[in-house]
Amino acid sequence: MDKEPSLKVKLIYKIDCLFSKGMSAMVFFLGIASFSIIIIASIIAVLFHVAPQNSDSLSFFEAFWASLMRTLDAGSMAGDDGWTFRILMLFVTLGGIFIISSLIGVISNGLNSRLENLQRGRSFVVEENHTVILGWNEKVFTIVKELCIANQNKQDACIVIMGELDTISMVESINEKLPSKCTTRIVCRNGSPIDQISLNLLNLNSAKSIIVISPLNDDPDAEVIKTCLAIIRNPNRQTKDFHIVAELREAKNLSVAKIVGGNEVEWVLSENIISKMIAQTCFQPGLCMRFKSR
């Protein structure tokens, strides 16, 4: 028969389980430990009449305040007199050094982790009537530029972009290529367009329109169709239809795409549009100059 774990092993296991629950559990545990030291010291000071030399006995609240100050600042006990009082305050100060310092460190690390998560772009987007762009390539800059021009008459327009690059790189690239965005705010998020967890961050149910850009890989049309399918089949989606504009490269995939998208997706064959624009430019030579000027 196996030997039963000792009380020490069980206690260490319980503490490990508590700390594994995250920062909130650690803050709660260390906060309870810190106040326990302060309260115990205050009770001892009141019961045994421990006070500085040439002073009357302390009340509970005075002892509590004196203990609290020494946990926050070890230098507070430099002026203490009376060895009984000094020993008690030394116990409180050591508790502050080890426990309260750990509490401050945990809170600091938690705030740093939160800031890192914000920089990675994994927080929920609280926007309404915004335009969502899924995917990242050179076409993003042209699309964003045209949307900014279209939103000039709006006071608080927003464009949300999700790509697989880190958020900081996307923001820097947009600011470099598009220094003037008029009244439009640009929000970037990191994630995969075919991942429903990532899509849920974009608040698609409140979006005005969704643009799906064809990625630069070996099978871009399949990626676009999967993205549209992930949006349409999301169990948390809205009841009304989405307004989705998606790019396809090859015409042979259009029939399958229409089955997937139904009435919610407008499919754009990018190669056909370019060919048609070239043909129209032959009859209207100034047509291409209109797009260059923009």
Q: Which helix (H) or strand (E) holds 58?
A: none
Tell whether 193 is covered by a domain. yes
Considering the domain architecture, whether residues 210 and 280 belong to the same structural domain is answered as: yes
126 found inside a domain: no
The verdict on 146 and 252 lying in the same domain is yes
Residues 100 and 193 occupy one common structural domain: no
Structural domain contains residue 1: no
Provide the pLDDT for residue 1: 45
Domain boundary, last residue among 95, 120, 145: 120
Provide the pLDDT for residue 140: 92
**Is residue 255 domain-shared with residue 110, that is, in the same domain?**
no
- Domain end point (choices 54, 89, 120): 120
State the CATH number of the domain containing residue 231: 3.40.50.720
Whether 139 and 277 share a structural domain: yes
Residues 153, 268 within the same domain: yes
2 within a domain of the structure (yes/no): no
Give the domain-ending residue among 120, 147, 175.
120
Task: Classify residue 30: in a domain, yes or no.
Answer: yes
Domain total in the chain: 2
Task: Give this prediction's pTM.
Answer: 0.66
**pLDDT confidence of residue 168:** 85
Say what the pLDDT of residue 71 is. 81
Question: Would residue 174 count as lying in a domain?
Answer: yes
Angle at 213 between CA 207 and CA 214, to 5 degrees: 150
114 and 137 housed in the same domain: no
Q: Are 219 and 274 contained in the same domain?
A: yes
188 and 281 in one domain? Answer: yes
Q: Are 174 and 201 in contact (CB under 8 A)?
A: no
pLDDT of residue 47: 85
pLDDT digits (tens, 9 = 90+) for 183-214: 899 999 998 899 888 999 999 999 999 999 98
* Residue 258: Cβ within 10 Å count: 12
Longest CA pairwise span in the chain (Å): 104
Helix (H, G, I), strand (E, B) or coil at 285: coil
Residue 61's identity, in one-letter code, is F
- Expressed as residue numbers, the domain containing 276 is 131-292
Domain with residue 24: its CATH number is 1.10.287
Q: Are residues 147 and 252 in the same domain?
A: yes
Q: What is residue 2's predicted lDDT score, i.e. its pLDDT?
A: 58
Say yes or no: 87 and 211 in one domain.
Answer: no
Tell me, yes or no, whether 221 and 279 share the same domain.
yes
- For the chain, residues with pLDDT lower than 50 are 1
Closest CA to 122 of 189, 203, 207: 189
Q: What's the confidence (pLDDT) of residue 166? A: 85
